[in-house]
Amino acid sequence: MTYIPIPYSIPKQDPATMLQNTQQLLTRMNTRRSCREFSDQPIAKELIESLIAVGHSAPSGANRQPWHFVAVNDPAIKREIRLAAEEEEKESYTRRMPPAWLAALEPLGTDEHKPFLEIAPWLVIIFQVNWVMLDGEKQPNYYPVESAGLAAGMFLTACHLAGLATLTHTPSPMKFLRDILKRPENEKPFLLIPVGHPAEDCKVPKIEKKPIEEALQWNR
Ligand code: IYR
């Protein structure tokens, strides 16, 4: 494919507006939390499609868009996913995770029980697409992990700004998702994201972000 340049610009804002907008966004984003207790209140399919379209707007290696979203609201499929996830998670919590990992998770209060996988109205599963058939040939995608991560981050942000709670859940190993959702072998499950309103009595762990100074270096 040839390079076809087209004009690009973004509406300019004055510096004070840029800072104000960013600070307002920061205030909103700082209220985002990983949610493990959902309400079963339905969410319109149209909204989920729009939120996923925000994720799909992410940049990607060579513009291959190496992600595939699967949105599940069918109770029977949600149940299958919950049972399979809990089976893997039980193995992880009781055998696979070393003591240091279990200790790191302690402040989060997580365990192998995942009722939210049935209660949340939607499960959005992001697959990373590792290769594609192009002109009859198997071709690798580029930076599929980074690309899927970007799409996931943008999707999570869109959900939060729409007033919806999410969880970045990684029941490990996640191969069962490919089997249950009948995805092809070039796709690897990347993230399982329940989406919905928080339960009325929802609680989250009291944890905090490090001060930005600990996560940011200026120059050398
Ligand atoms: N996947 C497990 C364990 C877990 C791992 C990490 I890293 C977390 O930040 C939270 C949980 C689970 O979902 O319970």
- CATH number assigned to the domain comprising residue 143: 3.40.109.10
Kindly state whether residue 46 falls inside one of the protein's structural domains.
yes
pLDDT at 1: 80
- What is the pLDDT at residue 114? 98
- Mean pLDDT (the chain, rounded): 98
Asked if 61 contacts 132 with a C-beta cutoff of 8 angstroms, the reply is no
The pLDDT-based confidence of 115 (bands split at 50, 70, 90) is very high
Instruction: Please write the tens of the pLDDT for every residue from 50-102.
Output: 999 999 999 999 999 999 999 999 999 999 999 999 999 999 999 999 999 99
Per-residue pLDDT for 188 more than 90?
yes
Mutate to test the pocket of ligand 1, among 81, 112, 170 (most ligand atoms within 8 A of CB): 170
Cα distances (angstroms) measured from residue 78 to each of 5, 72, 127, 181: 45, 7, 17, 10
Strand ranges in 10-145 using DSSP code E only, listed in sequence order: 67-72, 122-129, 131-134, 137-140
Residue 152 inside a domain? The answer is yes
Query: Does some domain include residue 170?
Result: yes
- C-alpha 172 – ligand 1 centre gap (Å): 9
Assess whether the C-beta atom of 110 lies below 6 angstroms from ligand 1. Answer: yes
Domain span at residue 54 reads 34-199
Give me the mean pLDDT over the 203-214 stretch.
98
Ligand 1 mean position, distance from CA 208 (Å): 17
| Predicted pLDDT at 101 | 96
The verdict on residue 7 lying in a domain is no
Residue 212 lies in a domain: no
Q: Which residue lies with its CA nearest to atom 9 of ligand 1?
A: 105
Angstrom distance (rounded) from CA 111 to CA 191:
18
- Residue 66 counted as domain residue: yes
Percent of the chain at pLDDT exceeding 70: 100
Domain count, the chain: 1
